[in-house]
């Protein structure tokens, strides 16, 4: 009995030994190639400043594809026919593709956004009547955050191919105050400039824009349009308005008061 087992083992080693060694060698080469190519791609993506989650996902997918290809080749060493396996995978992939058109569309759009970089995390964008700060970009969707900390999740296929307004990492505030027609405009504009220059949230470059926006029946409109970082939009607007109110009060610069004329008609006249 022992001789039979030894002979059987020897026969298997002679018949399949080289095939097993060849398959193991192919798998080993596949793992080494996956690690090397994954590292190469990872360094390339780092130079392109791709977001870490996306970069790690792409590297893992590339490694997985190389290992799968090595496994398929290794199976061929044992006599498995690769053609039916590849055909089956293709048919299955076609069926899955039809069933997941929306998901695949989002994935392809996500890849387009990642590689073309029409916007980045931290920038302020407007698209499809939605606007907000970009907080996250995934393969399937882009997440915008509003000042009230609510989130808008936009499928990537709704972004690619649409008109996109990218404000970048800074925005221009569009503030306005009104003064009476008889007010000293130079003094009012100087007060506006001092308040804007004193605010630490206001950027020095680009230069803030100040001037007369309109001459209206009730008074003169002054526009105050400084540039601030996206994250400072809400607090900067409140701080500048407060500073303008206090500066105008200190300089006794009044604000126009809307006048209403009321006429009282005699009862007899109405009769």
Segment 211-238, tens digit of pLDDT = 999 988 888 999 999 999 988 888 999 9
- Please list, residue by residue across 12-36, b when 16 or more beta carbons sit within 10 angstroms of its beta carbon and e when fewer do: eeeeeeeeeeebeebeeebeeebee
In the structure, what pLDDT confidence band is assigned to residue 98 with cuts at 50, 70 and 90? low
Class for the domain spanning 118-168:
mainly beta
Distance separating alpha carbons of residues 116 and 129, to the nearest angstrom: 22
Per the listing, tokens 């306005």 go with 176
* Residue keyed to tokens 């882009």: 142
- Residue 141's CB is within 10 A of a number of other CB atoms, namely 18
> DSSP state, 122?
T
Write the CATH number of the domain with boundaries 2-99: 1.10.287.1260
Any idea what DSSP says for residue 202?
B
Q: Is the pLDDT of residue 77 over 80?
A: no
Indicate the pLDDT class of residue 176, thresholds 50, 70 and 90: very high
Cα–Cα dist 220/223, whole Å: 10
Is 191 within 8 Å of 251 (Cβ atoms)? yes
Q: Which of 25-34, 137-146, 255-264 has the highest mean pLDDT?
A: 137-146
What pLDDT shows up at residue 30? 80
In the predicted structure, residue 204 carries a pLDDT above the cut 50 = yes
The secondary structure of residue 198, as a DSSP letter, is H
| Contact criterion met (CB below 8 Å) for 224 and 173 | yes
- The region of weakest confidence among 68-82, 186-200, 256-270 is 256-270
Question: Are 113 and 164 in contact, with CB atoms under 8 Å apart?
Answer: no
Q: What percent of the chain has pLDDT over 70?
A: 73
Instruction: Kindly report which listed range (37-46, 84-93, 158-167, 222-231) carries the lowest average pLDDT score.
Output: 84-93
CA–CA separation, 177 and 188 (whole Å) = 10
In eight-state DSSP terms, residue 156 is: G
Q: What is the pLDDT averaged over residues 117-126?
A: 88
User: How confident is residue 53, by pLDDT bands cut at 50, 70 and 90?
Assistant: low
Domain ranges within the chain, ordered by starting residue: 2-99, 118-168, 170-250
Tokens at residue 141, please? 């969707």
Mean pLDDT, rounded, of the chain: 79
The top-level CATH class assigned to 170-250 is alpha beta
């Amino acid at each position: 009995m022992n001789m039979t087992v030894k002979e059987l083992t020897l026969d298997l080693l002679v018949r399949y030994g080289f095939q097993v060694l060849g398959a193991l060698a192919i798998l080993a080469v596949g793992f080494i190639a996956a690690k090397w190519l994954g590292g190469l791609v990872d360094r390339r993506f780092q130079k392109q400043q791709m977001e870490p989650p996306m970069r790690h996902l792409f590297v893992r997918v590339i490694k997985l594809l190389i290992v799968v290809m090595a496994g398929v080749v290794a199976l061929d060493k044992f006599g498995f026919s690769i053609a039916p396996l590849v055909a089956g995978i293709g048919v299955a992939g076609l069926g899955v593709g039809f069933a997941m058109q929306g998901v695949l569309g989002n994935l392809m759009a996500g890849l387009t956004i990642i590689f073309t970089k029409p916007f980045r995390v931290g920038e302020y964008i407007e698209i499809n009547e939605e606007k907000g700060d970009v907080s996250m970009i995934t393969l399937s969707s882009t997440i915008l955050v509003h000042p009230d900390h609510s989130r808008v999740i936009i499928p990537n296929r709704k972004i690619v191919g649409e008109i996109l307004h990218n404000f970048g990492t800074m925005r221009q505030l569009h503030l306005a105050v009104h003064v009476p027609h008889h007010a000293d405009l130079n003094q009012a504009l100087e007060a506006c400039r001092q308040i804007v220059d004193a605010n630490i949230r206001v950027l020095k470059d680009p230069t803030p824009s100040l001037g007369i926006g309109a001459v209206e029946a009730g008074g003169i409109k002054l526009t105050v349009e400084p540039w601030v970082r996206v994250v400072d939009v809400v607090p900067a607007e409140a701080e500048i308005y407060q500073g303008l109110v206090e500066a105008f009060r200190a300089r006794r610069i009044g604000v126009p008061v809307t006048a209403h004329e009321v006429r009282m008609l005699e009862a007899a006249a109405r009769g």
